[in-house]
Chains A and B, each alone.
Chain A
Amino acid sequence: MVGNRSKPTLSAVTAETTLVSSRSLSGIVEYEPSEFTFTAMAGTTLNEINDTLRDKRQYMPFDPLLADHNATIGGTLAAGISGPGRHRYGGVRDFVLGAQFVAGDGQLIQSGGKVVKNAAGFDIPKLLVGSCGRFGAITQLTFKVFPRPQGIQTYQVRCSDHAMAATVIAAAARGRWELDAIDYSAKTRMVWLRISGAAEISQAIADDMQRVGVADSLTRVDSDQAALIWQQLGSFEFGPELDCVAKVPTTLRQMIGLADWCDTSKHAAVLHNSVAGAISWIALSQHDLDDFDTYLRETEVTGQLMRGPRAPDGRLVIGNRGINHIESAIKHAMDPVGRFPIFER
């Protein structure tokens, strides 16, 4: 099952596999602003959803990526990727409430619910997050949404090295300020902080962060430049000349290691870290893939390519494999007849 193929590596399958597109399964089925919920067909583009929510001053706080590339809501959930806003309220996994999909045996499954709170039965919608279409054909999804902040300002902190960036990130994330996003561009050594609220409130918060020593100087980024910064990540263009993009979940220490690896990589790989250290997005040349895979294995870190060729051995993940038996047992439960490709670790 594929959407608009904005994360092509995930839908690159062998020739004998038939691709089914969700393109015509498009449209918002239900939107209840007062309930903070909407239901959309899997092939609905993020753009359409964002526009509809914006009219009612709401948004998807997990800040989905690749809207500019016509990414669909189904593909976003299946790929399990969230943008910088994940920092404040959580990721796509934290906002999905219900999922309708066709299981491998052709049965239409209605899992989860349509209300913001539901503890009945197993949480199958969450299991679909990151499943990359290997479990079933998602047809419809229900999400929780939140009121949109009144304003958003971006501040930047210039760092001397990656270790300093990690210190700034940790201090910013742990403080009382409730920042909206904390990202780091390793190439420019710049930490970007997004603060929501009216401009004077954001400024007061930034001043306080400076006062207590999170950084010597927090500089406000003008809105055009800020839009460019966030759009570069949002459309995976933070390393424009490079043909691969990988997602690597990291701790702050692993982020530093990856940033160092990028600095010494043969083809100048670029790291954009998002969500206060937690997600490292790496743009790299396919000629660096082998080295990258080796580095991840050595440091016992797992990643996934979103764009570019498959991992050197044709698998979906790169680096540490972390295979466990339960994943194939779950796959068998979801798709007993083996209709969908397997998630090759």
Chain B
Amino acid sequence: MNTPTADLQSLCHRLPPGRFHADAAYQAAFESDGLTAFRQRPLGVVIPECEQEVIEVIRWCYEQSVPFVARGSGTSLSGGSMPVADGIVISLNRLNKIIHVDPDNRIAVVQPGVINLHVSAAAARHGLYYAPDPSSQKICTIGGNIAFNSGGAHCLKYGMTSNHVIGMRVVTATGEIVNLGGPTLESIGPDGTGLFCGSEGLFGVALEITLRLLPKPECFHTVLVGYRSLRAAGDAVSAVIDSGLLPGAMEIMESLAIQAAEAATACGYPDGAAAVLIVELEGPREKIAAEQQQLDAVIAATDAFETVVAADDQQRAAIWAGRKSAFSAVGKLSPDFLVQDGVVPRKRLGEALERIEKLSLASGLRVANVFHAGDGNLHPLILFDDSIAGQLQQAEALAGKILMMCVEMGGSITGEHGVGIEKRDYLPEMYDVSTIELMHRLRAAFDPKTIANPGKMFPGADAPALLTHGLHPLEKAGVISRE
């Protein structure tokens, strides 16, 4: 698609001065996201200051048939917010107002560029918080969270982003304004809010979002357990589940990740553990007092060789610091890495990890496993060195095999990072032709010209060039970490 300069001028005319940028510095600043492997320079970048300006840009894009990509903080790990060639990037960071917090109805109304953690900060004085907590929450935006239906460590109990979004005003890719859901937990008619969550920017732009807030958990009981084998840790997860407890979080890290985290944060994880399990209960003190005894008994009956119970907030923070640093710490063990996000049924976790180990041995690349054990969401980190010819392709092939294994086991290719560019070729492994056709039709209902984030989620479009892999620049700087 070739857009003459005159057209860009017509865009500039529709916006106040200083909103549109087409110089090389801007193009370069927005050329990739958290999946640094993929890069693409956009035609230009618009940084709107208000909702109406976003609408103007999209109407212009629709009239001119110019593709656009909405962008929050650009932390997508699947290439979701990477620009499209000859397209416009709409950067939403300045739409960052928390419009209001209503403690009685426990909702917050926010603009899309609001940072995830800022919602909880604004709700805190009412004893409330916003539950979805991706590890990038210090920096990622609610708009990005919605587009990817982002998760975090607490999904089993609390669900994903979509379980906490009750309404939104969106501008579709035709420039039309649509209200989905509303200010109440439920609405009448089909759940359009639920459909928009996880649509990866392919429907349009969320302009104003109504979030559901929860009372802040009062107490935590956090336990760190060391095991001599991954299987024993996996069995412990099943034992906790079978006991009837519903922990807020259950995470496993295996030896390579433990060593890396220990080196990075001196988190005091059990020496010589093949795997550590973190289990955290949360709730009112009366309930936690009873549940912690139950949990301690369940853990005592497993094959654990060391159990640490966090005695205070500081110890709890140390346990989580090890876990939260795991990715960036492992990242430092190797010049480059790829992270996958597949899901397997919980009871097959042990088998999945053994198969990943075999695949890793066969490919000659190391894999470190850190994962949300409660919901079977794996995060294998594949370590490689891009300066060695062929290693990147080997790493990608290994990642592909892991995804195929997840599908074969009845799971999913992505638990929370989205399909984006990275996994689009694997979508047909999960859904048959008629289901994908229906998805295309749904997309066309919002975006008949296929201008909203084209080339993502669905296979078919040309793949952009692969360049490098590794830590997000903000991770290198220590601003964020990933789970």
Q: Which residues of A contact B (CB under 8 A)?
A: 32-36, 57, 80, 82, 86, 89-91, 93-94, 103, 107-111, 113-124, 126-132, 134-135, 146-148, 150, 166, 170, 173-178, 197-198, 201, 204-205, 208, 247, 249-252, 254, 275-279, 302-304, 317, 322, 324-327, 329-330, 332-334, 336, 343, 345
Contact = CB atoms under 8 A, between A and B. Distances in A.
Contacts of B176: 325-326
A121 B457 contact: yes
B194 interface: yes
B185 A130 contact: no
Contacts of A132: 189
B244 A178 contact: no
B408 to A, nearest CB: 13
- Among B185, B194, B290, chain A packs the most CB atoms within 10 A around the CB of B185
Contacts of B102: 251
10 contacts: A36-B156, A111-B431, A116-B346, A116-B375, A121-B431, A122-B443, A123-B149, A130-B187, A174-B128, A327-B190
Given A126-B194, A327-B189, A119 B103 contact: no
Contact of A197 (B245, B286, B437, B439): B286
B335 interface: no
B155 interface: yes
A119 B184 contact: no
B377 interface: yes
A317 B105 contact: no
A150 B423 CA distance: 42
Contact of B419 (A108, A117, A121, A277): A121
Given A120-B431, A126-B194, A175-B127, 16 more contacts: A80-B186, A94-B159, A115-B345, A115-B412, A119-B412, A119-B415, A119-B416, A126-B195, A170-B104, A173-B106, A174-B127, A251-B102, A251-B183, A278-B184, A278-B185, A330-B190
A146 B188 contact: no
Interface in B398-432: 410-419, 423, 427, 430-432
B73 to A, nearest CB: 18
Contact of B343 (A118, A166, A250, A277): A118
B453 to A, nearest CB: 13
B430 to A, nearest CB: 5
B197 A302 contact: no
Contacts of A303: 188
A32 B246 CA distance: 16
Nearest to B347: A34
Nearest to B435: A109
Contacts of A113: 343, 411-412, 430
A57 B243 CA distance: 10
Contacts of A178: 215, 217, 283-284, 287
| Interface residues on chain B, size class | 35 or more
A198 B289 CA distance: 12
Given A278-B186, A336-B441, A175 B215 contact: yes
The 9 closest A-B pairs by CB, nearest first: A126-B194, A329-B445, A333-B441, A107-B434, A249-B184, A118-B412, A170-B104, A278-B185, A176-B218
A86 B416 contact: no
Contacts of B283: 178
B415 A118 contact: yes
B442 A330 contact: yes
A176 B284 contact: yes
Contacts of A89: 157
- Among B241, B287, B446, chain A packs the most CB atoms within 10 A around the CB of B287
B263 interface: no
B459 to A, nearest CB: 12
Contacts of A111: 431, 435, 438
Contacts of A108: 434
A131 B188 CA distance: 9
A131 B246 contact: no
Nearest to A111: B435
Given A115-B410, A330-B445, A130 B105 contact: no
Nearest to A128: B190
Contact of B159 (A90, A176, A333): A90
A317 B106 contact: no
Contact of A122 (B157, B346, B442): B442
Given A251-B105, A333-B442, A123 B416 contact: no
A121 B284 CA distance: 37
A197 B246 contact: no
B186 A249 contact: yes
A115 B185 contact: no
A126 B191 contact: yes
A343 B190 contact: yes
A316 to B, nearest CB: 8
Contacts of A330: 190, 192, 195, 442, 445
Contacts of B411: 113, 115, 118
Contacts of A33: 242
B199 A122 contact: yes
Contacts of A128: 190-191
B190 A127 contact: yes
Contact of B186 (A146, A276, A279, A329): A279
A103 B438 contact: yes
B442 A115 contact: no
A117 B415 contact: yes
A326 B375 contact: no
Contacts of B190: 127-131, 134-135, 327, 330, 343
Interface string B229-250: 0000000001001101110000
A18 B472 CA distance: 57
A269 to B, nearest CB: 18
A57 B156 CA distance: 17
B410 A114 contact: yes
Given A116-B156, A120-B430, A123-B195, A204 B414 contact: no
Contacts of B414: 118-120
A93 B191 contact: yes
